[in-house]
Amino acid sequence: MTLILERKKRRLWYKSLLYRLKMLPLPAKIKLKMFLNLEWMFERMALEISWSVFPTEEHPMKVLNRRFISDCLLPEHSVLDLGCKQGHDAYLMATKCSRVVGIDYDTDAIAYAKEQYRRPNLDFLAIEGVNYLTRSPHKFDVLVLSHVLEHLDDPLGFLRQFRSFFKFVYIEVPDFDRSVLNHFRKSLRMELLYSDDDHISEFDRYNLMSVIEKSGLEVVRSEIMYGNMKFWCRVG
């Protein structure tokens, strides 16, 4: 998207006030560190409050993700949404696919999903993934891992454990390399910019591709936009 802007921009008082922080009588390195930390805080708060401003189905992040995965899914696909949280994405996939099962260890989230999202081809279960797959008589075509791998101690081992049950795997994680600012932080030996407190792994596109390839998956389609990486993979 290309924006055509007026040469003279509207002035905002709080923007002008904050910009004056640049003139603080401090060494440049100290000011850079301060602004890098403020940037992380404001970005994090903006992302968190955005979920209160936009309805889930209209949230820009959800719209983009839905478009990508919808183009990959087929009506005959059966889907397991592992780590489905409160079930919104599983419900949307069930409007296109033959069968969708959402599972999550969070019993409150699953209870909410069962109450809010109902379709004859959609089920929600509070159960551990491998136990369910080894006991279930149902076979699945697609494993959906939307913001799951970054929470795991061993993402590669996890993918290797699950891949044999599916034909395709959808992976979505935050893009650690979404900004040059982490490179500033690295050079200054600061704590690097992580996406959330409960993340264990943070990926850039190169190390995530390495994990995917080592797990035996083949990337068919990918999209890296707006701080998220999305990969549609075929099981090799």
Whole-structure pTM value? 0.83
Over residues 121-174, the pLDDT tens digits come to 999 999 888 888 888 888 899 999 999 999 888 999 999 998 889 999 999 998
Q: How many domains does the chain have?
A: 1
Residue 40 lies in a domain: no
Residue 215 lies in a domain: yes
Residue 37 lies in a domain: no
Residue 38 lies in a domain: no
Residue 191 lies in a domain: yes
Taking the C-alpha atoms of residue 86 and residue 83, their distance in angstroms, rounded to an integer, is: 9
Residue 203 lies in a domain: yes
Residue 44 lies in a domain: no
Which range of residues forms the domain containing residue 166? 56-235
DSSP 67-126: HHHHHH--TT-EEEEET-TTSHHHHHHHTTSSEEEEE-S-HHHHHHHHHH---TTEEEE-
Residue 17 lies in a domain: no
Over residues 79-96, the pLDDT tens digits come to 999 999 999 999 999 999
CATH of the domain at 207: 3.40.50.150
